[in-house]
Chain A
């Protein structure tokens, strides 16, 4: 079945450091890919998405590029802030298959220190 793998956390960075959170997936078809973020005490929120190969999703300074050849969707940010401290989930859903469930990675906790 489909699966999503993320780098293990927790990740601890200093403010203004560069962030990369790796995400790779396995899927039988052509999934859409997502990054969700969960701030402390909250539900998950969509951070960015990409629906086809080579698409780049971006939001709030975060970026991720859909790499079909490496089945990856790594999350990056050039300069993190303390307010970016949260848990980040990579996820996929099969395109044009409404009956397919979302598949989430295990989440990566990010802590940014001032």
Chain B
């Protein structure tokens, strides 16, 4: 049902590496989010975007950055990964009518 995709699903990388988590949606939604999900399953908003060239930091301080050059793509980048970045990352977009959110399947990142 959902037309929002995240890649990769799983990633194990070494400390200090630069990584980009991809998120794409084909629904033409302007508003997109990145959440970090802690082991207790709570969602923490780390970045969001209102549309092209719009990016905002969320409630949870994060060392990641995002970009929104095209409506469809909202990639998240870690310039230098650390073990503390090990987490599940969820991307979402919101329909402008009715406010429904569509979520990707998530990227489980492990930094060793």
Contact = CB atoms under 8 A, between A and B. Distances in A.
Interface stretch (A19-27, A31-39, A60-68, A73-81): A31-39
A59 B30 CA distance: 27
A114 B17 CA distance: 45
Interface residues of B, number: 26
Interface string B78-95: 000000000000101010
Given A44-B103, A102-B33, A107 B48 contact: no
Contacts of A38: 41
B45 interface: yes
Contacts of A43: 2, 6, 90, 92, 103-106
Contacts of B100: 34, 46, 49
Contacts, number: 61
Sort chain A's interface into a size bin: 20 to 34
B68 interface: no
Nearest to A91: B101
Contacts of B98: 32, 49, 51
A42 B106 contact: yes
A89 B43 contact: yes
Given A99-B50, A101-B33, A101-B48, A46 B41 contact: no
Contacts of B106: 42-43
B31 A44 contact: no
Interface of A: 32, 34, 36, 38, 41-46, 49, 51, 87, 89, 91, 93, 95, 98-99, 101-102, 104, 106-107, 109
12 contacts: A41-B105, A42-B105, A43-B6, A43-B92, A45-B2, A46-B101, A93-B94, A98-B96, A99-B50, A101-B33, A102-B99, A106-B42
Please give me the 9 A-B residue pairs with the lowest Cβ-Cβ distance, nearest first. A43-B103, A93-B99, A44-B103, A106-B42, A107-B41, A43-B105, A104-B43, A87-B41, A43-B106
Given A43-B106, A93-B101, A102-B92, 10 more contacts: A32-B98, A38-B41, A41-B105, A42-B106, A43-B92, A43-B104, A49-B98, A51-B98, A93-B99, A102-B94
